[in-house]
Amino acid sequence: MSEEIVVSVSNLTKVFHLYNSPLDRLKEGLHPLRKKYHKDFYSLNDVSFDIKKGETVGILGKNGAGKSTLLKIITGVLTESSGTVTTKGKIASLLELGAGFNAEMTGIENIYLNGTIMNFSREEMDKKLQGIIEFADIGEYIDHPVKCYSSGMFARLAFAVAINVNAEILIVDEALSVGDAAFQMKCFNKFQELQDSGVTILFVTHDLESIIRFCTRGIVLDTGKTVFNSLPKEAVDVFKQIMTGSYSPDKNEAESDGRENNTQKISNNNNALEYGNNKASIVDYSLIMDNKPCTVIENLKDYRVTMQVKFSEEISNPIFAVSIKDLKGMEITGVNTHQLKMTTGVFKPNDVINVNFDQCANFRSGKYALSLGCVTYTKSGEIEVFNRLYDVILFEVIGSNEFCGFYDMQSKLEITHA
């Protein structure tokens, strides 16, 4: 990764003008004295960041947080209201399905059309054609008008074109999510190839795992503002908090100070993250093996995750959850009482309970982080977080790895003559 800045966004603001009628918009556009006819809606509000050559940046945020607007301004489709965006190098983009393609023309014709728009000559496109068709892999549909394409085929073709035009900056909105698993995998492999060749990638996705796996940086937008801009793993955590409505920037910093009653808590992770409304609090927790709290567990042995929960309000049927991530932040496994279809009961204020999860440690050796949670579903179906502790215990699994991948299937093997 070089130090050269290829995308520079500074104090970017996009105000959408809400007009009562299209005529008002026209009047304003042509009004010599710039009279206002609109109400303002801030889609982006003073956003600034720089992206260096070769970085892969994931952009996270709720619907309506301004992600797509940001990408559109960077590609030049939308015009900023104030602030500046400077980009260096050729941009290829997949902004929305359908953009850049003429529905009446066939796949092949659209490939050439796109080439023309990107200022490639027909001969240059002839050379690229085979690669594009191969990557899109949509068979004979390539000769059919794109209006008969499924959204997946469309995404395939659009992506195939975008990555084959030798762009220096690739901008991808959620378009990829319509592809099937095989194609998504192919795309992400291609991402890695592009990363290696120094292409800068910006993408928006709701697939948190791909952010952690492919990005070198994560940017979280909320209501038009950048709330986080650093490591992807942390960005994902911040994003999860935003999704549950429990994010506040101050809490983020005070997180590991703990609470007043934390006599027995043994968080060995200074970067643990805690939030929630504390209607129920996880006051104690530990990882237990052979009846002793520990941070190292042996492969294929039984261990227990225990948490003590104290209630400060009457709560019926809360959900208790455990999850284990590897150090890259990839969720390895996890379970909660809701998934287990357990009815946990009704608890009164000042009730204190112990929740134990017992299981076998059948994952490969390495370092892991344990997260705990106590949540509930509100009537409207949203998650209400009483207390969540992210990555509170870092632990290590030791032992032999006589398997590949993340976990041991514990296969029973038998070979017989047929």
Positions in the binding site for other proteins (CB under 8 A):
16-17, 22-23, 25-26, 29-30, 72, 75-79, 91-93, 95-96, 98-105, 109, 112-113, 116-119, 121-122
CB of 258 vs other proteins, minimal distance in Å: 49
Nearer to other proteins by Cβ, of 107 and 373: the residue is 107
Region of residue 258 (left: phi > 0; alpha: psi -120 to 50; beta: else): left
CB of 65 vs other proteins, minimal distance in Å: 18
Query: Which residue type sits at 92?
Result: A
Nearer to other proteins by Cβ, of 114 and 387: the residue is 114
Nearer to other proteins by Cβ, of 119 and 400: the residue is 119
Nearer to other proteins by Cβ, of 125 and 305: the residue is 125
CA distance 121 to 332: 48
Nearer to other proteins by Cβ, of 19 and 357: the residue is 19
Nearer to other proteins by Cβ, of 146 and 211: the residue is 146
CA distance 188 to 203: 11
CB of 158 vs other proteins, minimal distance in Å: 10
Buried b (16+ CB within 10 A) or exposed e, 194-230: bbeeebbbbbbbebbebbbbbbbbbbbbbebebbbbe
Pairing of the two strands 383-398 and 296-298: parallel
Name the one residue in this structure whose structure tokens are 């017992």. 358
Residue 336 has φ and ψ, to the nearest 5°, of -140, 165
Nearer to other proteins by Cβ, of 23 and 340: the residue is 23
CB of 181 vs other proteins, minimal distance in Å: 27
Q: What is the DSSP letter of 105?
A: S
Nearer to other proteins by Cβ, of 85 and 332: the residue is 85
CB of 189 vs other proteins, minimal distance in Å: 24
**Cβ atoms of residues 191 and 56 within 8 Å:** yes
List strands edge to edge, sheet with 217-222. Answer: 91-94, 169-172, 200-204, 56-61, 217-222, 225-230
CB of 78 vs other proteins, minimal distance in Å: 5
CA atoms within 13 A on the CB side of 276: 25
CB of 136 vs other proteins, minimal distance in Å: 18
Instruction: Name which of 391, 373, 212, 388 is nearest 295 in CA terms.
Output: 391
CB of 79 vs other proteins, minimal distance in Å: 4
Nearer to other proteins by Cβ, of 136 and 392: the residue is 136
What value, to the nearest 5°, has the Cα angle with vertex 274 and ends 270 and 278?
145
CB of 116 vs other proteins, minimal distance in Å: 4
**Cβ atoms of residues 198 and 173 within 8 Å:** no
CA distance 123 to 244: 52
Q: Is 374 helix (H, G, I), strand (E, B) or coil?
A: strand
**Cβ atoms of residues 160 and 116 within 8 Å:** no
Residue 29 has φ and ψ, to the nearest 5°, of -60, -30
